[in-house]
Amino acid sequence: MMIDDNKADISTLLRAHIDESPYSLNEIAILCGFHGPEMLEGILRGELRVPLDKAMPLAKAIGCDGRTLFALVLKSWFGVELVNTIEEVFTNDAASAVERGWIAFLRDFYGDRIPELTPTLRRRLRLLVSLPG
């Protein structure tokens, strides 16, 4: 994926959350530490990249998954190959590719609100998995 494609992905992700935000674009800009909405407008048009130090405050301000946004921002600055290599190096011992797939699914499905794995939820998952398929 090209760096410009990543800027488009970032714009799409941000637009979806900004459209649902109770804050105006100017208020979001202030929450992120920008002086006005111009930088955000450029990012949303795909013309500018999110500064690395603004990715997490931006995610928090609009309520999107910080990890997802930060990974996209890194890819927009450094390219997909390098970021994928970094992810592989630092997550290699933490989880297998299959486990990372489950984690990605849960994050995509639940967003920032993944429920605690309670005994009740474990029991329901076991029942679900045991159903004939």
pLDDT tens profile 36-61: 999 999 999 999 999 999 999 999 99
Q: How far is CA 115 from the centre of its chain?
A: 18
The answer on pLDDT for 34 being more than 80 is yes
The class of domain 3-92 in CATH terms is: mainly alpha
Residue 130's pLDDT is what? 86
Q: How wide is the angle at C-alpha 1 spanned by C-alphas 102 and 74, nearest 5°?
A: 70
pLDDT tens profile 82-133: 998 988 888 766 677 788 788 888 888 888 788 899 999 999 988 888 877 6
Hey, where are the domains in the chain? 3-92, 95-133
